[in-house]
Structure 1
């Protein structure tokens, strides 16, 4: 059984390598960047990892770039300042509609879907010493860190806290920086929207005692009704602090590509990422959801033609023609 799995994996990797060798690369860029987010967050770890993997497999220079997260990534990819990026379905929809706060009125239609990444759970963390064990325990005027300005967390979590009746002072910053502020007593709570495990939370667990706060059933239902999120459960195995699964809500993330990139280049990059999930989960556990069958989680963005071709050929994807860029 093990030998069969190894042979199958080797065949997939070899097929991917052969695919990249057999295509005409004359119009490929000589280098690329992937827009991620702040250091200490899942986007940075995941994005830098797959950027390095694609660069190595395709034999060109590439890497992750620190950014403000999903909103800024939509802008960077739309303008071509970054070839690739990562976004969340909510910010993607706002960007297409011209309501991205980075460039109000600009409809960012040059950012195309590339491949499904994972779900972003919304979770709340506080120091155990604070006594905050539920959302209702958060005191009036609490200083809450919502992540980098313009990030998915910063875009949606304040509105979610409003919906749940929390009165707070808003703070922004990179996840690592906010984790340090929480530990130093400068923040009461951090409201994370990031793939789990969030590196900053894992680091906090090592250094101090924390509470990872779940939503009640009623709170979860309110959020699902008011926002483009679905129910989610953070598995107890995700963090050493958790003794049982924690109730949450989540939003899907997708990798994006500038729509004008050569189809063969994007198809080759997708092939590298989607053909070997074991290597991707080695980069970050959240990649357990980076699977071909999750192509259908994109309900917002038009597909890059090269990506659409890969999913139709390899995942039996039934992508409508009007959802493929250029059609």
Structure 2
């Protein structure tokens, strides 16, 4: 009996070690963490989940969260396999500066591909007469989820500009409704353009979209190296009569370094080679192009994703090389 058992064990081990790495490590299912309902993350994430399910063959679902910061915490804890983040929270997570996980450095964070830039956007009802950040002094201002990109950075930035607003936090869809019925005076948020909740608001209310002054732009950029100048083009929304000057942060789909190279490669390839499907999900995906991986300046690239970029001739900057 012992000889038979030993023979069976040896055979089982031979089968196990003869399997390809992808067969051993391919998950049965995956989850991608997004953000609150009503924002671009929730819509874009559904598009990614469907593509990965269809093209990679791994059933993938979305998980609604408070946004990038929580997504990074969930990813590090192994509660999700994919996450969506902006450059600011990613920088802070890597350096142990994230408010949700102070002192915890996420060194195993890896990028698969660039999504799109997230502009910081400001809107008020036209009847409120608000057309600048400075006029938000003392006003009731919705800033999106507290742990989201908007909630996190607008809280800091308004304080740094000595603008004392009465900030309120919550889902951007709900806050758009609160602005419409007079419970808020303005909304400051961060999200892809056109933002679904703001477009819907504009369809039912007379609104004013406004930008940042040159002084505000320079002050914020100096203290936040992961932010970049951005222009919301005329025509993005119906109301503005010209371009809007603001700031933005780039968004990325990220994974943990523990994800197998093959799975990371297949996800990256599936999304980037089916851009038409992503654009049909949300127009912000027009920026989800392989060449935009260079918009990442500090998060290491996953080796599996790097293999795909090498195959198609995209040069990887040394700063993010795996």
State the TM-score, normalizing by the size of structure 1: 0.88
Task: Select between 167-176 and 223-232 the one with higher mean Cα deviation.
Answer: 223-232
Within-5 A mapping of 1:1-327: 24-138=22-136, 140-228=137-225, 229-320=227-318, 323-324=321-322
Contact 2:278–2:285 (CA under 8 A) maintained in structure 1: yes
Task: Select between 34-43 and 300-309 the one with higher mean Cα deviation.
Answer: 300-309
d(CA) in 2 for partners of 1:24, 1:221: 48
Per-residue deviation, residues 117-162 of structure 1 (Å, max 9, x unmatched): 1111111111111111222332x32111111121111121122222
RMSD of aligned C-alpha atoms? Answer: 1.8
SS of equivalent residue, structure 1 residue 236: coil
Aligned CA distance change for structure 1 residues 260 and 24 (closer, same or farther; 3 Å): closer
Aligned CA distance change for structure 1 residues 46 and 322 (closer, same or farther; 3 Å): closer
d(CA) in 2 for partners of 1:224, 1:24: 43
Q: Number of paired residues?
A: 302
Task: Select between 175-184 and 307-316 the one with higher mean Cα deviation.
Answer: 307-316
Contact 1:34–1:85 (CA under 8 A) maintained in structure 2: yes
Per-residue deviation, residues 3-42 of structure 1 (Å, max 9, x unmatched): xxxxxxxxxxxxxxxxxxx995442101111110001111
Q: CA deviation at 1:208?
A: 1.0
Contact 1:79–1:110 (CA under 8 A) maintained in structure 2: no
SS of equivalent residue, structure 1 residue 237: coil
Per-residue deviation, residues 197-229 of structure 1 (Å, max 9, x unmatched): 111101101111111111223332222223231
Contact 2:279–2:286 (CA under 8 A) maintained in structure 1: yes
Contact 2:298–2:320 (CA under 8 A) maintained in structure 1: no
SS of equivalent residue, structure 1 residue 215: coil
Aligned CA distance change for structure 1 residues 191 and 322 (closer, same or farther; 3 Å): closer
d(CA) in 2 for partners of 1:68, 1:186: 22
Per-residue deviation, residues 31-87 of structure 1 (Å, max 9, x unmatched): 111110001111111112111121122222112210111111111111211100111
Aligned CA distance change for structure 1 residues 274 and 322 (closer, same or farther; 3 Å): closer
Aligned CA distance change for structure 1 residues 23 and 53 (closer, same or farther; 3 Å): farther
Contact 1:113–1:255 (CA under 8 A) maintained in structure 2: yes
Contact 1:48–1:65 (CA under 8 A) maintained in structure 2: no
Contact 1:89–1:254 (CA under 8 A) maintained in structure 2: yes
Unaligned runs of 5+ in 2: 1-19
Unaligned runs of 5+ in 1: 1-21
Mark the structure with the bigger radius of gyration.
Answer: 2
State the TM-score, normalizing by the size of structure 2: 0.89
Contact 1:308–1:319 (CA under 8 A) maintained in structure 2: no
